[in-house]
Amino acid sequence: MTDLHTLWNTLPAADRTLFVEHADSPDLPAHVAQRAQAVRMPIVIGVTQDKSGASVTWPGVVREFLQRQAAEREA
């Protein structure tokens, strides 16, 4: 997996803000998932619990990283 700190430091501020805003989202909105794919931010694509469609989430390590970034912004 890409070193998150290295990747994070190359992202535009708008992407950083977008990803931090969705750090706790159980399912990422399509525009967030598309942007994450465009910049090679790790995501997990699965199936919804009712098997009716796709579910896109952050891998656990990415979610924790984004939550730390959010906490640092609030401090």
- 23-65 residue pLDDT tens: 999 899 999 999 999 999 999 999 877 778 888 999 999 999 9
How confident is the model at residue 2, as a pLDDT?
56
For residue 53, give Cα distances in angstroms to 28, 48, 63. 13, 6, 22
Q: What is the separation of C-alpha 6 from the centre of its chain, rounded to a whole number of angstroms?
A: 15
The residue-averaged pLDDT of 4-17 equals 96
**Residues near 36 by beta carbon (within 8 Å), at least 6 away in sequence:** 19, 28, 42, 43
What's the domain count of the chain? 1
pTM: 0.87
Domain boundaries, position 67: 4-74
